[in-house]
C-alpha cells in the first residue's frame, strides 16, 4: 500500500475535487481534513462515513483511508507531524498531553467534533485559515500557525473526552497498548477474550481484569461494551445502515439481541435512539 510522507513539519492544502485522486493509502503524519462544501464518504480502516459541509476528520499515522466523492467537494487538508507539535510555540506542559491524545485517537470513522459548540467554533477558524492561505497577506504564516494550533487543541479536547477517565500520558505503555489493541479489534470478538489478551500482552488471565481496571477505572467488559455501543451510536446517527446490518457488524446474533443490549444500556431501542437523536446539519 502506498504511504505518503511530508517533508516539512506542517503544510496546508486547499483543493476542490470531483473525484479522489488517490486510492486507499497511509501517512506517516497527522492530517486534519475539513469539508468546506460537498458530499461523499470518508473511508477509513475499511469503514465508511457519509460526509458533508462542516465535518472535520482526523487521520492518524498508519490509518488506511480515502474519500469517495459524490458531489464536488472543497477540502482543507492540514498536515503536521510530531516535530511541529514540539516546535509550534505551545506551552511545554501541554506538548506531552497533545502528543498522547493525538496518538491515541480511536481510529474510527466520523467527524472528530463531538458537540455543536465546537463545530460553531471551528468554522470561523477554518474560514480564516483559507483566507490567509489564499491571500498570502503580511504575517500570514504566523497567523496560520496560531490558527492551526488552536484547531489542534480543539481536536485534542474532543478526543480526550472519549478516553477512559484514568488513561492519560502517565499511564503505563502496556495499558495503552491494550486499549489500542481493543479499539483495533473491536469487530473481532475472538481476539478480545481475557485469555487471548492475556497471551498477547503477557499478563495472566486472572490478573488482567485487575490490571485493566487499575489503569482504566472500569472493568474490561464494561469498557468493551461501552466502546462498542459508542460505535453503534455512530452508525445509527451518521449512516443509513439497517439495524440488522449493524447487529451483524458488531457480532450480535440478530436484531433482537442488539435491541435488548442497547436498550439495557441506553434506555431506548436502536431505532428510537436514531429517531430521537439524529440531526441533519
For residues 26 and 242, give the distance between their C-alpha atoms in angstroms, rounded to a whole number.
Answer: 30
**Which range of residues forms the domain containing residue 229?**
173-277
- The enclosing domain of 211 has a CATH number of 1.10.10.60
Locus of grid cell 489500542: 180
Indicate whether 165 belongs to any domain.
Answer: no
For residues 148 and 154, give the distance between their C-alpha atoms in angstroms, rounded to a whole number.
Answer: 10
Q: What is the pTM of this model?
A: 0.65
- 217 and 117 both lie in a single domain: no
Query: Which pLDDT score is estimated for 237?
Result: 80
- 182 and 155 both lie in a single domain: no
Q: Which of 163, 30, 32 is nearest to 85 (CA)?
A: 30
Query: Which pLDDT score is estimated for 281?
Result: 44
Question: Greater confidence, 6 or 136?
Answer: 136
Residue percentage of the chain with pLDDT more than 70 = 85
Number of domains in the chain: 2
- pLDDT tens readout for residues 77-116: 999 887 777 776 566 555 666 666 676 666 566 888 887 8
Apex CA 105: angle with CA 193 and CA 129, to 5°? 165
- 8 and 147 both lie in a single domain: yes
Domain boundary among 160, 187, 210: 160
Query: Alpha-carbon dihedral of residues 263, 266, 271, 276, nearest 10 degrees?
Result: 140
For residues 263 and 256, give the distance between their C-alpha atoms in angstroms, rounded to a whole number.
Answer: 10
E-strand ranges in 8-151 read 10-17, 26-27, 30-44, 47-51, 56-59, 65-80
- 19 and 94 both lie in a single domain: yes
- pLDDT tens readout for residues 129-179: 999 998 888 888 889 989 998 998 888 888 777 766 555 555 566 777 888
Domain boundary among 128, 160, 192: 160
Query: Which pLDDT score is estimated for 97?
Result: 62
- Is the four-CA dihedral 179, 187, 116, 36 of positive or negative sign? positive
- 184 and 258 both lie in a single domain: yes
For residues 127 and 157, give the distance between their C-alpha atoms in angstroms, rounded to a whole number.
Answer: 21
Query: What is the three-class DSSP state of 48?
Result: strand
Query: Which pLDDT score is estimated for 183?
Result: 78
Indicate whether 166 belongs to any domain.
Answer: no
Query: Which pLDDT score is estimated for 3?
Result: 66
- pLDDT tens readout for residues 56-71: 998 888 788 889 999 9
Query: Which pLDDT score is estimated for 17?
Result: 93
Asked if residues 273 and 236 have their Cβ atoms less than 8 Å apart, the reply is yes
- Reading the block at residue 273, the C-alpha cell is 435512539
- The enclosing domain of 70 has a CATH number of 2.60.120.10
Indicate whether 168 belongs to any domain.
Answer: no
Of 22-36, 207-221, 255-269, which one has max mean pLDDT?
255-269
- 35 and 89 both lie in a single domain: yes
Asked if residues 189 and 251 have their Cβ atoms less than 8 Å apart, the reply is yes
Query: Which pLDDT score is estimated for 180?
Result: 74
- 239 and 267 both lie in a single domain: yes
Q: Which of 119, 146, 153, 151 is nearest to 132 (CA)?
A: 146
For residues 226 and 37, give the distance between their C-alpha atoms in angstroms, rounded to a whole number.
Answer: 33
Asked if residues 22 and 69 have their Cβ atoms less than 8 Å apart, the reply is no
- 119 and 204 both lie in a single domain: no
40 pLDDT band, cuts 50/70/90, is very high
- 136 bridge partner residues: none
Amino acid at each position: 500500500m502506498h504511504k505518503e510522507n511530508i517533508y516539512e513539519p506542517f503544510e496546508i492544502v486547499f483543493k476542490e475535487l470531483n473525484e479522489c485522486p488517490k486510492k486507499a493509502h497511509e501517512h506517516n503524519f497527522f492530517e486534519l481534513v475539513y469539508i468546506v462544501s460537498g458530499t461523499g464518504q470518508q473511508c477509513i480502516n475499511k469503514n465508511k462515513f457519509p460526509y458533508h459541509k462542516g465535518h472535520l476528520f482526523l487521520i492518524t499515522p498508519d490509518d488506511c483511508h480515502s474519500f469517495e466523492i459524490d458531489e464536488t467537494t472543497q477540502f482543507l487538508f492540514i498536515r503536521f507531524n510530531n516535530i511541529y507539535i514540539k516546535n509550534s510555540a505551545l506551552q511545554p506542559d501541554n506538548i506531552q498531553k497533545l502528543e498522547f491524545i493525538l496518538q491515541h485517537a480511536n481510529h474510527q470513522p466520523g467527524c472528530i467534533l463531538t458537540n455543536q459548540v465546537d463545530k460553531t467554533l471551528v468554522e470561523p477558524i477554518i474560514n480564516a485559515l483559507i483566507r490567509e492561505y489564499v491571500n498570502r497577506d503580511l504575517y500570514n504564516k504566523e497567523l496560520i500557525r496560531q490558527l492551526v494550533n488552536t484547531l489542534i487543541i480543539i481536536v485534542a479536547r474532543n478526543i480526550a473526552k472519549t478516553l477512559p477517565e484514568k488513561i492519560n500520558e502517565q499511564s503505563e505503555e502496556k495499558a495503552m497498548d491494550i486499549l489500542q489493541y481493543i479499539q483495533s479489534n473491536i469487530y473481532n470478538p475472538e481476539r478480545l477474550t481475557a485469555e487471548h489478551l492475556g497471551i498477547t500482552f503477557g499478563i495472566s488471565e486472572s490478573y488482567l481484569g485487575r490490571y485493566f481496571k487499575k489503569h482504566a477505572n472500569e472493568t474490561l467488559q464494561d469498557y468493551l461494551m461501552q466502546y462498542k455501543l459508542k460505535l453503534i451510536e455512530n452508525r445509527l446517527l451518521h449512516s443509513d445502515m439497517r439495524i440488522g446490518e449493524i447487529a451483524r457488524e458488531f457480532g450480535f446474533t440478530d436484531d433482537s439481541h442488539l435491541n435488548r443490549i442497547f436498550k439495557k444500556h441506553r434506555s431506548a431501542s436502536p431505532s428510537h435512539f436514531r429517531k430521537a437523536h439524529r440531526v441533519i446539519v
